[in-house]
Amino acid sequence: MVLSVSERTFTQEVLESPVPVLVNFEAPWCGLCRIIHPLLFQFQSQCGEQIKLVRVNADDNFKLSNTYRLKSLPTLLLIENGIVRHRLEGFRGRDDLRLALEEIKLSYTNRPKAYSSSKADLECQTV
């Protein structure tokens, strides 16, 4: 299950998170948003506790949509220590997203992580 985050909980759940957070900005009317859910769930299950997955309803959280200058939905942001490390937008379907998630995993697993525990040191498996 993916945690739904709002403007009220964004700082605590995302910006102050001890692990990187993949934020999925979506909307109920967005067809592509629904299509990519299975890939995001798979990504989350393969990465375990190394990367947290949350979703934000862009329509209901206008300030966040403006803050992160959303141009299209879905938009995915990998936020680590309050900083946007990766931005994924404008992908056309599952294959584009799969490649983008693979890029995130490769760059993430190749960097040292000061906050990791021995259990979380396991690398993400391939999507």
Greater model confidence, 124 or 66: 66
Any catalytic annotation for residue 33? yes
- E strands of 58-115, at which residues? 75-80, 83-88
Q: Is 0.75 topped by the overall pTM?
A: yes
Q: Are strands 21-26 and 83-88 parallel, antiparallel or unpaired?
A: unpaired
DSSP-derived 3-state class of residue 24: strand
Any catalytic annotation for residue 30? yes
**Catalytic option among 21, 23, 33, 36:** 33
- Averaged pLDDT, 92-115: 73
Distance CA 109, CA 99 (A): 15
Distance CA 75, CA 87 (A): 7
The percentage of residues in the chain with a pLDDT greater than 70, rounded to a whole number, is 83
Q: What is the pLDDT of residue 103?
A: 83
Which of 60, 59, 57, 64 has its CA nearest to residue 10?
64
Q: What is the pLDDT of residue 118?
A: 37
**Catalytic option among 2, 19, 27, 30:** 30
Greater model confidence, 16 or 102: 16
Q: What is the pLDDT of residue 111?
A: 57
